[in-house]
A and B are shown apart, each in its own frame.
Chain A
Amino acid sequence: MSEKSDSGTAQHSDEQEQPTAPSESSERADRSTRSSRTRGERVRAAAWTLREPRTASWIAEETEVSVKTAQKYLNQLVEDNVLLRVEQGEQTLYALDQLMASYREVATLQREHTREELTTALESMRDRITDWKATYDVDQPGELRSSLATLDDEQERESRREAASEWEQLETRLPLVQTALREYDWATERETITA
């Protein structure tokens, strides 16, 4: 089912937004704009953010839908290889399929960027890390972040905080870009077959 398929007129009662208990001071906002989202969209958007296994009832409470409605959309996402269903004792939990998510991200990089773009980006990322290592005389972003506690100069602290933050981000993107490049030709061949 596509992301857009629930955005039209609701066919089933569990698709319709019901007024919910106002949260803090956002009652007016709830009434005016929340009606633009269906329950399916709320559950599906939330499902992409599941970084640890959760029960359908937990997700239902977070997204203000019935447990039955949450289960319906979560099970669709299991069938679509987005979520994993994990049995733990008597409980059924849902978690993001991290392996599939990583493959999906690699495929996105391959589909949206040329080999040259990925190569240039990879070199730039490595150069930046090399520069930080030399500038701050540390090997890891965690070491750079630890050095903040020893500094009084707020400007220097902010610049190190920024560098550590960027460095941490690049460390997570590097393996994905490397993988995308390593299998770029193979992926391009598959893309040609399905085009």
Chain B
Amino acid sequence: MGLPGTTDPSVYRGLRGVLDRQPEITAVQYEPDSIIKAWLRATIDPDRVHPPTGPEAPELRVEWRFHGDAVYYQIHYYDPNTGFNCGWHRDDDHPDLGPVHFQYENSTTGEHDHVRVQFSKTVPTEILWEAGNRLFEEKLPTLIGED
């Protein structure tokens, strides 16, 4: 955390539009509040996640920052029921992996990793849409699947 730069409410308006369209997401709100608007918290319906989880609702934290020409973001999923968390980060934490990496941590199996990734688009809304699809369609079933 602690991304450099500042957020842009207009960009968050576009990103909220994407989160509102994600079928697994039931609510989206600003954090720490709607005056400061530092990041977006999306609440996920535990019954719509595969494999199923609950009873607590998992969350998706979305933060986008701009510092001059540089772009930083974190799209991070957290399941309070299992402690499993994963996300796509464009920050300075792992320069050896290039600008963007995917990281995950499975407290049940002890597995964790950081890997280099890239997105085919540069528009924030398209990146978030692709990340959401990868999360629910691929990452969760693969990384915490029962097989």
Contacts and interface: CB of A to CB of B under 8 A. Distances in A.
Contact of B138 (A28, A121, A166): A28
Given A44-B17, A177-B35, A33 B133 contact: yes
B34 interface: yes
Interface stretch (A8-16, A19-27, A85-93, A129-137): A19-27
Interface in B1-50: 1-11, 13-15, 17-18, 21-23, 33-38
Interface in B116-133: 118, 120-126, 129-130, 132-133
A46 B4 contact: no
Contacts of B66: 51
Interface of A: 3, 23-26, 28-30, 32-34, 36-37, 41-42, 44-49, 51, 59, 62-63, 96, 101, 105, 108-109, 112-113, 117-118, 121, 125, 145, 158, 161-166, 168-173, 177
A165 B1 contact: yes
A48 B36 contact: no
A27 B65 CA distance: 28
A171 B7 CA distance: 11
B23 A169 contact: no
Contact of B5 (A49, A117, A162, A168): A168
Interface of B: 1-11, 13-15, 17-18, 21-23, 33-38, 65-66, 118, 120-126, 129-130, 132-134, 136-138
A48 B13 contact: yes
A121 B36 contact: yes
Contact of B35 (A33, A36, A44, A117): A117
Nearest to B130: A26
Nearest to A52: B69
A45 B125 contact: yes
Among B9, B37, B123, B137, the most chain A Cβ lie within 10 Å of the Cβ of: B123
- For chain A, what secondary structure do more than half of its interface residues adopt (helix, strand, loop), or is it mixed? helix
Contact of A62 (B15, B18, B35, B123): B123
Contacts of B23: 33, 36
Given A25-B138, A164-B2, 4 more contacts: A42-B129, A59-B123, A113-B34, A169-B7
Contacts of A46: 14, 123-126
A44 to B, nearest CB: 7
A172 B23 CA distance: 32
B138 A169 contact: no
Nearest to B92: A161
A26 B36 contact: no
